[in-house]
Chain A
Amino acid sequence: MAKDNAPPPLRQVFLHLILFRVFIPLIVVGITAIIGVGYLGKQNLLNKQSQIVRSTSHFIENHLDHGGRILDAVARVAETVDTDNLRVFMESAWKAYGYFETMYFLDKNNKITLLMPSEMNYSGLDMSNLPDFQKTKEQKGFSISRPFISIRTGEPTVYLVRALAQGGSVVGELNLGLFQKEIEHIAKNPGKDFVFIMDQRGTLLAHPDPLLVKQQTNLSNLAVFQGVQKEKPDTFYRYDTRMVLGQAVRIDKTGWVVVNQIPLSAFLSSYAWMFVLIFSASLAIWITLAWNLRKQIQRYVIHPLERLSLSANALTVGDFAPVQSMSTIPTSFAELHKLANDFQTMGNNLQARETALQNAHDELEAKVEERTEQLSGINECLKAASNSLLTSNLELQREIVERKRAESQLAQKIVEIERAHEELKHLQSQLIQQEKLASIGQLAAGVAHEINNPIGFINSNLFVLKRYVDELLDLIDAYAGSFPGAPDQVSEQLAHITQLRKEIDFDYLRQDVGTLISESIDGASRVKRIVQDLRDFSRAGSAEWQWTDIHEGLESTLNVLGNELANKAVVVREYGQLPRVECIPSQINQVFMNILINAAHAIPERGKIVIRSGRLAEEVWVSISDDGKGIAPEDMAKIFDPFFTTKPVGEGTGLGLSVSHGIIKKHGGKLEVQSQLGKGTTFTIYLPIHCSLDRNQDSSDLSIE
């Protein structure tokens, strides 16, 4: 509620002042201007209308004068010549001017004597009762009848009548259509102003709507018509439901009235523009003024006041800087100037007092400092003693650090020795395995060599034997079929032979001998192949780096394992495309064998071993998966350790995987294992295609020769 009583900001006060002291006067001035402009606009419009009605009335006057002159010419002739000559003249005048619709020559009884164009229907008619005819007799010059419908044409018409000296008259019938054309010419723009002409009684002589003229409409009720009779030419009045502004002029000679009339709406529409213009101009002025004043007030009053207020605030916290800049505040009026001055004086006085206080304070400070210095001297001495103690302490600390370092070096040495020992142990296991393999290899090579020779000639002899047996059998057949000699002997012999044949079951023999030989050939071939494979596997003298087909090595290993695998698992080969790989084939084959044997052992009854291979950039890989019992997670870390085995005592040495790992490492490859307990194990061997390791050293190490 207290807020309601707070005075509004100065800005608002000034805005109110501007609104009520500037805007409303401006509006008043604007409205006055509008009224003024409206009056001027009306005057201007009236001037324009006045011009139009005047020019129209002049036109009509001229027109009628022209008609009068024609009539005059005809009348003068009529006064001097006889009827026949007059007829000729009248006809030529009527035709030449084309001004009158009809021309009449009336005798003194107002009967039509001559008529142009001559129509017998009308000649001789008595025209004496026509309105405005009688009185024209007395007038000099011509007179004009009121409008009426022509007896001849049925059109709205007026007569121009010129009395003759000897009695009778010349009459011209003027079609009002002539004026019609003239006012239609003026009233070009419909919906705006137009002109119409009335006779002295208000009957239309010409109007943009020609039907109104033909219908002899009388507009004497219009205020403009009544006004012009009272010398008041311009009036606002209602015309056909619309308000209009009309101006009229009366043609003196005929008493006709020419009116120019404009709908008020047309007049107001131009006026409305003016109104909008003035209103928006005053609004613009007001806004500019308000904006400008606001800016000025902001600069000269509000801003200095705000700075004064700021300075006062600063004073309360003891900041005298704004007081010093007080003189820079623009003071545009005396009161503000005095206020600023007073404020500055006050500030200065306060500052002087503040300075005195400060000085006293400073002195006190100096004394405190002096005392402090004395104290610090004593402090120095104490510090020196403390320093010497610190130094000796430091030395002791350094010594401890050194001892600690020596200790740690010793521990490191021990670790190194342990590692070397481990390596030695590893090497030793490899050597044992290699030695074992080498001896197997030598044995195998020796056996193979010894078997190879006899099996070779058994094999070839069996081929020859088979051929011989076939030939012998053919020969027997030939004998049996074509035996010449005495029939009785023959039959005896034949019976003997037949007997013999039955005894030895020749047919069966004949069948079986081939089979036997074939089986023997097959067996010999198998022995030959096994021997070959044994040789290939041991490959004496092949512990050298060679470009090797890995698939060949796999196949020979599988052959060597032969039955051991066949009893346990189906081997599925999913080989990819492999290039030749630079390796020591016997060692790689040994790795395959170790893994395959482990796979076979892992399978409890029957299972499946899948061998996959492929190339990965500059490496080839071979994976061997079994669906056996898998490796327990706790054993996973130990499988490559030498002498670790899960097999019963006597079955495994625990060196297979350790050695394989070593071989692959020496080849620059790696051996990975994935296993799931109960589901199977996959070993994957990665070998670089081109081995970049130092071979000499390695090959000597791993030589199995």
Chain B
Amino acid sequence: MSIHVRKYTQSSWFRYALPVLLIGMAGLLFLSWNNRKPIRVGFVAQMTGKQAELGVQERNGVLLATEKINAAGGIAGRKIELVIRDDFGLPEKAKSADEELIKSDVVAIIGHATSGQTLAGLQISNPARVVMLAPTVSTPALSGLDDYFFRVYPTFKDSARAFAEHVYKTSGLKKMAIIYDTDNTAYAQTYSSTFSDRFSSLGGAISGQAGFSSATQPDFSPLLTTLHKDKPDGLLIIASDIDTALVAQRVRIMGWNIPLFTSAWAQTETLINHGGKAVDGMKLEQSFALSSQDPLFIEFKSNYQSRFGNTPSFGAAFGYEAAMVLAEALKKTGGKPDKLKNALLETGNYKGLIDSFSIDRFGDVQRPFYLSAIENGKFVIVGKLN
């Protein structure tokens, strides 16, 4: 008996072993749960409604990039948490969405998809010194400004002029009619005037211009009938994908067999899906070399396809690039928003999905742009414009 007794008294430490073990386990769990806080990055664009396709594509591109970065361990050991907001394509909603994002302590905002909403949103983000990085905004109105706005898409100032030159010289059209969406004036009207100025200066004529508000779901027939009267050689549509598709369809239903042109804004699958045969042969300028054989781009396309079940459009590609550029800058700042602007400005010779580009001191980029066309329900590259 006494042998047993000694054994037990000596092993009485064991009484404490169980609670110690439990507490230790709980502590480990707590530590692992209480891992480092993620870096919050905002994303904002129009993702609902008829014109949502561009925003949805951008969101998907950003999401794909984020998932890739997080899978590779995040930035400085921290994951990226995407905070997504919808601007519903309305300037007021764009402002409130940006306010919400800034309140959520995002280090930067990726967005918006369209120029109008970007101009509104910058009224919030610039005073708050929060970086806004737009994937597809191309209005020249934001060029040459030293602020917190950045973009990975070139301004259309040059591309619209080159597009006009192409129409006049290569296509040999001397008289153009223009129809544009007045809801996104920052883009559409500026594009229209840039194009017209160049076209006129070449000796061409603008036979007529018609504006419509997409939000009112207008009947395009009367507008088109008016433009038709002046017998233009070509029609330039500056509008979103869905409106461009509907205008094209209406033109063909009218039996008006006129060459159609459109701006980069409309280049989504929606244009083709809803444009039907009407958009076949339509030409557009854009900065998206969709037939590129760059291995990075091919990998991106296949990843996107398997993640979202469809092919990426330019919105997805530039969304992806924007997120990657931002991640690169965040790596330099260690995930902190301080000096993020400087880090972004340092972006030089960045290898994008298709080409390399640099961000200039105003947060703008210079990238090649292409002339493409729709053939048999598909975008094809016709040639380089610059």
| A interface list, Cβ under 8 A from B | 7-8, 13, 16-17, 19-20, 27, 109-111, 120-121, 124-131, 146, 148-149, 151, 154, 199-203, 211, 214-216, 218, 220-221, 241
**With A121-B219, A126-B278, A203-B308 in contact, is A215–B53 under 8 Å at CB?**
no
Q: Which stretch in B44-52, B113-121, B148-156, B158-166 binds the other chain?
A: B44-52
B377: A residues at CB distance < 8 A: 129
Say how far A280's CB is from chain B's closest CB, in angstroms: 15
Residues of chain B contacted by A8 (CB below 8 angstroms) = 5, 9
Task: Report the separation of the CA atoms of residues A199 and B253 in the bound assembly, to the nearest whole angstrom.
Answer: 34
- Residue from the list A125, A211, A218, A241 in contact with B308, Cβ < 8 A: A218
Encode contact with A along B254-288: 1 for CB under 8 Å, 0 otherwise.
Answer: 00000000000000011011111111000000000
Let me know if B67 and A151 touch, CB within 8 A.
Answer: no
Contacts known (A7-B2, A151-B274, A215-B56); A203 close to B309, Cβ less than 8 A: yes
List the B side residues contacting A17 at CB < 8 Å: 4, 8
Q: Residues 296-320 of chain B: 1 if any A CB is under 8 Å from the residue's CB, otherwise 0? A: 0000000000111110000000000
Cβ contact within 8 Å between B49 and A124: no
* Assembled-state Cα–Cα distance A241/B277 (Å): 45
B277–A126 touching, CB < 8 Å: yes
Q: Within the complex, which residue of B50, B86, B249, B309 is in contact with A215, where a contact is CB–CB below 8 Å?
A: B86
The interface residues of chain A lying within 8 Å CB-to-CB of B60 are: 218
Cβ-defined partner of A201 (8 Å) among B4, B217, B249, B309: B309
Decide: A149 near B310, CB < 8 A? Known: A121-B219, A127-B276: no
Contact B5 A146 (CB under 8 A): no
B384 at the interface (CB under 8 A from A): no
Asked whether, in the complex, the Cβ of A146 is within 8 Å of the Cβ of B272, the reply is: no
Closest Cβ of chain A to B310, distance in Å, is 7
Smallest beta-carbon distance A391→chain B, Å: 81
List 16 additional A-B contacts (Cβ < 8 Å) besides A129-B274, A131-B269, A221-B307.
A8-B9, A110-B276, A125-B276, A126-B249, A126-B252, A126-B277, A129-B276, A129-B279, A131-B273, A151-B242, A151-B274, A154-B48, A199-B309, A215-B52, A220-B306, A220-B309
**Cβ contacts under 8 Å, B14 to chain A:** 20
Q: Find chain A residues with CB under 8 A from B306 CB.
A: 220
Residue of B nearest to A111 (CB): B276
Contacts of B84 in A (CB 8 A): 215
> Is the pair A130, B309 in contact by a Cβ cutoff of 8 Å?
no
**Of the residues A131, A149, A221, contact of B49 by C-beta under 8 Å:** A149
Binary A-proximity of B201-231 (CB < 8 A = 1, otherwise 0): 0000000000000000101000000000000
Whether B1 is near chain A, meaning CB under 8 Å from some CB there, is: yes
Q: Identify B50's interface contact among A125, A131, A149, CB under 8 A.
A: A149
**Complex alpha-carbon distance, A131 and B274, angstroms:** 10
**Chain B residues, Cβ within 8 Å of A218:** 60, 307-309
CB of B59 within 8 A of CB of A13, answer no
* Contact A125/B249 with A8-B5, A215-B48, A215-B86 known, Cβ cut-off 8 Å: yes
Indicate if the CB atoms of B9 and A216 lie closer than 8 Å: no
With A7-B5, A8-B5, A20-B8 as contacts: A211 and B48 at CB distance below 8 Å: yes
Please judge, given known A-B contacts A110-B276, A126-B249, whether A151 and B309 are in contact too, CB under 8 Å. Answer: no
A241 to B38: give the CA distance in the assembly, Å: 10
Query: Which residues in chain B, 344-380, are within 8 Å of chain A measured between CB atoms?
Result: 377
Instruction: Enumerate chain A residues within 8 angstroms of B252, measured Cβ to Cβ.
Output: 126
Question: Considering the complex of A and B, which 7 residue pairs feature the smallest CB-CB distances, nearest first?
Answer: A201-B309, A126-B276, A215-B47, A16-B8, A214-B48, A154-B50, A124-B253
Who on chain B is nearest to A16 by CB?
B8
Among candidates B48, B272, B307, residue contacting A220 with C-beta atoms closer than 8 Å: B307
A216 with B47, Cβ < 8 A, contacts A130-B274, A201-B309, A203-B309 known: yes
Q: Are B310 and A211 in contact (CB under 8 A)?
A: no
A-B contact pairs, 18 of them (CB 8 A): A13-B5, A13-B8, A16-B5, A16-B8, A17-B4, A128-B276, A129-B279, A148-B273, A149-B49, A151-B246, A154-B48, A201-B309, A211-B48, A214-B47, A214-B52, A215-B86, A216-B52, A221-B67
A148 to B15: give the CA distance in the assembly, Å. Answer: 64
* Smallest beta-carbon distance A148→chain B, Å: 7
Nearest neighbor of A215 in chain B, beta-carbon distance: B47
Instruction: State the Cβ distance, A627 to closest chain B Cβ, in Å.
Output: 96
Nearest chain A residue, comparing its CB with the CB of B271? A129
CA distance A682 to B278 in the complex (A): 148
Contacting residues, chain B, for A7 (C-beta < 8 A):
1-2, 5
**Cα-based distance from A221 to B279 in the complex (angstroms):** 34
Closest to B253 in A: A124
Q: How far is the CA of A148 from the CA of B245 in the complex (A)?
A: 15
The smallest beta-carbon distance between A194 and chain B, in angstroms, is 19
